[in-house]
A and B are shown apart, each in its own frame.
Chain A
Amino acid sequence: EAQVTQNPRYLITVTGKKLTVTCSQNMNHEYMSWYRQDPGLGLRQIYYSMNVEVTDKGDVPEGYKVSRKEKRNFPLILESPSHNPTSLYFCASSLGARVNEQYFGPGTRLTVT
């Protein structure tokens, strides 16, 4: 089954603790992207990747790192999470940047205490 998977799905952590959210797709897609969703703000793009070893910043990259060592994986590192209301993180992929449809992962709900 074609899909984008994210792990973990739910995460409770403490302020300042570095953590990684994994993202993997099995569709051989070149383009992958991370978004965060906060109440009332819609989705905002954190980082994206056009292909292996090619990444660039979205609109809200501060406090995050990414890497793309393999085509299928695009992990998101939160370097020092600060206390915030619960945020939802989505990974998405598509065949290329200009392809109409992005396939979204199920989301990771993060709470920082």
Chain B
Amino acid sequence: AQKITQTQPGMFVQEKEAVTLDCTYDTSDQSYGLFWYKQPSSGEMIFLIYQGSYDEQNATEGRYSLNFQKARKSANLVISASQLGDSAMYFCAMRGPSGGYQKVTFGTGTKLQVIP
């Protein structure tokens, strides 16, 4: 079975600083995908970044990068130059063949607050 663990229920970061949100996963599959989503206080889910298990390079999307360490089964999200609008809940998620690619497992989330 797939499992996602986010151990930081809440975090603070100073505006313009970088922050790392932790995500570890558990799977016996070799092929899987890892995602990060942002949920602002308004409630919508916003896709941020994706990393495939066979991708050799860490994924980057603007100020977001995914620090993928396959041997450690971690997929941490790094946000550079934090902005006030980054204050939100952040969810790590996974899909893989043992659950069927159609099954998606989410972590419990990390609430990030950016301080001016």
Contacts and interface: CB of A to CB of B under 8 A. Distances in A.
A41 B26 CA distance: 17
A20 B105 CA distance: 24
A106 B103 contact: no
Contact of B44 (A33, A44, A100, A106): A106
A90 B50 CA distance: 20
Given A41-B108, A106-B44, A107-B44, A100 B102 contact: no
A100 B33 contact: yes
Interface in B97-116: 100-109
A34 to B, nearest CB: 11
Chain B contact-residue range equals: 20 to 34
Interface residues of B: mostly helix, strand, loop or mixed?
Answer: strand
B45 interface: yes
Interface residues of A: mostly helix, strand, loop or mixed?
Answer: strand
Interface of B: 4, 6, 33, 35, 37, 43-47, 50, 52, 91, 93, 95, 100-109
28 contacts: A31-B102, A33-B104, A40-B108, A42-B4, A42-B106, A42-B107, A43-B106, A45-B103, A45-B104, A45-B105, A48-B103, A58-B103, A59-B103, A88-B43, A90-B45, A97-B95, A97-B100, A98-B33, A100-B33, A100-B35, A100-B52, A102-B104, A103-B47, A104-B37, A104-B45, A104-B46, A106-B43, A107-B43
